[in-house]
């Protein structure tokens, strides 16, 4: 794979790396992105299923969707792209991984500095009082209710129309403005406020790299955009950095 001298210089000098991942990095692990939902779910709009209204309208259907996705995420394995990011974390003095994904494949790949902007699909909590709910979710008879207040139990993801965790969101904006290298990997950069991060990084002087087999609305703002699959190019970038450090 060809890399420009400019890109090599950036990799050599980078001290503070910010990585933003979207559903595309988990595609090669067999997990669908929102856009290419298929099969049984094709007749539903994920934007409706992943929303409070959708849950209130049909909690049983929304729970079925999350239980199916939870099982798929459990059965999936981190791919070469996830594993490369785990190596990358150890190649820079400062490295933060903010993910829009809820599948926890970055945790299983071995990254440490992970921030989940949209929650995770494995945990549950009470919609009313927020209490975590650790029992198995069995929706055969009824939707589980909170043992403390009787509220409905929901998956611990951030739904459309819901605020992101305030501490993680403000940290992401601060770090995006202070990084010198920003990698936007496998995201359509269409879901806000996460999609704002690469623009903020660019406006504060970071070198912004996009990795996506397709063009996105962000492509023209990136310093460099690789029309590549993350599981292919990320291991190449790790190898390049190791070679650059070896001969430095």
Just list the catalytic residues: 118
Contact partners, residue 165, CB within 8 Å, separation at least 6: 116, 117, 119, 158
2, 134, 192, 247: which one binds ligand BV8 (CB under 6 A): 192
The packing angle between helices 230-246 and 80-88, to 10°, is 30
- For Zn ion, give the closer residue by CB, 24 or 144: 144
Q: Is the dihedral of CA 236, 187, 4, 17 positive or negative?
A: negative
147 binds Zn ion, rule: CB under 5 A: no
3, 7, 16, 34: which one binds ligand BV8 (CB under 6 A): 34
Contact range with ligand BV8 by CB under 6 A, out of 122-130, 151-159, 202-210, 238-246:
151-159
Contact partners, residue 31, CB within 8 Å, separation at least 6: 23, 69, 72, 73, 76, 103, 105
* 154: nearest Cα among 139, 173, 174, 168: 139
- For Zn ion, give the closer residue by CB, 82 or 154: 154
16, 33, 113, 128: which one binds Zn ion (CB under 5 A): 128
154 binds ligand BV8, rule: CB under 6 A: no
129 binds Zn ion, rule: CB under 5 A: yes
97, 126, 153, 179: which one binds Zn ion (CB under 5 A): 126
**Six-digit token pair at 214?**
């397709």
| Beta bridge partners of residue 210, listed in sequence order | 184, 225
19, 28, 70, 184: which one binds ligand BV8 (CB under 6 A): 28
146 binds Zn ion, rule: CB under 5 A: yes
128 interface partner picked from ligand BV8, Zn ion, none, CB below 5 to 8 A per type:
Zn ion
38 binds ligand BV8, rule: CB under 6 A: no
Eight-class DSSP state of 39: G
**Six-digit token pair at 127?**
């919609």
- Rounded-to-integer distance, Cα 108 and Cα 91, Å: 19
152, 191, 224, 244: which one binds ligand BV8 (CB under 6 A): 191
Site string for ligand BV8, 228-247 (x = CB under 6 A): -xx-----------------
75 binds Zn ion, rule: CB under 5 A: no
Question: For every residue of 47-115, which 3-state class applies, written as one string?
Answer: HHHCEHHHHHHCHHHHHHHHHHHHHHHHHCCCCHHHHHHHHHHHHCCEEEEEECCCCCHHHHHCCCCEE
47 binds Zn ion, rule: CB under 5 A: no
User: Contact positions toward ligand BV8, by CB under 6 A?
Assistant: 22-25, 27-28, 33-35, 50, 100, 102, 118, 157-163, 186-188, 190-192, 211-214, 216, 229-230
């Amino acid at each position: 794979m060809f890399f420009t001298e400019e890109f090599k210089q950036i990799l050599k000098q980078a001290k503070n790396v910010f990585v933003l991942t979207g559903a595309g990095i988990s595609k090669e692990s067999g997990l669908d992105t929102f856009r290419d939902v298929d099969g049984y779910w094709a007749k539903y709009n994920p934007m409706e299923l992943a929303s409070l209204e959708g849950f209130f309208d049909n909690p049983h259907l929304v729970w079925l969707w999350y239980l199916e996705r939870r099982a798929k995420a459990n059965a999936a394995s981190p791919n070469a792209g996830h594993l490369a990011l785990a190596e990358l974390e150890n190649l820079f003095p400062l490295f933060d991984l903010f993910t829009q994904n809820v599948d926890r494949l970055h945790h299983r790949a071995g990254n440490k500095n992970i921030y989940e902007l949209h929650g995770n699909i494995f945990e549950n909590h009470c919609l009313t009082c927020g209490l975590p709910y650790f029992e198995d979710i069995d929706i055969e008879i009824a939707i589980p209710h909170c043992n403390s207040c009787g509220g409905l139990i929901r998956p611990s993801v951030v739904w459309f129309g819901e605020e992101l965790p305030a501490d993680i969101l403000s940290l992401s904006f601060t770090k995006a403005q202070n990084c010198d290298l920003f990698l936007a990997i496998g995201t359509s950069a269409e879901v806000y406020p996460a999609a704002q991060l690469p623009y903020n990084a660019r406006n504060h002087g970071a070198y912004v790299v996009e990795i996506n087999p397709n063009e996105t609305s962000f492509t023209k703002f990136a310093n460099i955009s690789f029309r590549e699959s993350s599981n292919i190019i990320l291991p190449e970038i790790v190898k390049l950095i190791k070679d650059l450090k070896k001969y430095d």
